[in-house]
């Protein structure tokens, strides 16, 4: 959003909501930080009814990058 701050929850679900509304499980998992310290995430999309697959892949990614990471406050802005 061109560097504008926005609530964390909307930033984290912006790209997964359409998948979820279509009945396709999707999630985003933190996967590191860029050189400037901004978070990098990986979106995982699975087949219809594949929630366990998506969660398993997200858990594996989290393990590879040293997660889980500390929670972020719901109202914390993302810049």
Within a domain: 50:
yes
What's 70's DSSP letter?
P
Give me the domain span that covers residue 61: 27-67
- Looking at every residue in the chain, the average pLDDT score rounds to 80
Contacts of 70 (CB under 8 A, 6+ apart): none
**Token pair for 3:** 């560097």
- Split into its structural domains, the chain has a count of 1
Say if residue 1's pLDDT is above 90: no
Q: What is the pLDDT of residues 22-39, one digit of tens each?
A: 889 988 888 887 887 777
Cα gap 21→39, rounded to integer Å: 25
Q: Does the residue 13 lie in any domain?
A: no
56 within a domain of the structure (yes/no) = yes
On whether residue 43 sits in a domain, the answer given is yes
| Cis peptide bond upstream of 68, omega within 30 | yes
Instruction: Answer yes or no: is 74 within a domain.
Output: no
Supply the pTM of this predicted model. 0.64
């Amino acid at each position: 959003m061109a560097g504008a701050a926005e609530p964390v929850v909307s930033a984290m679900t912006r790209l997964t909501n359409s998948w979820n509304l279509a009945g396709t499980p999707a999630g985003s998992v933190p996967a590191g930080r860029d050189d400037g310290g901004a978070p990098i995430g990986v979106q995982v999309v699975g087949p219809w009814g594949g929630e366990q697959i998506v969660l398993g892949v997200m858990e594996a990614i989290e393990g590879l990058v040293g997660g889980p990471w500390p929670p972020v406050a719901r109202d914390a802005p993302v810049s």
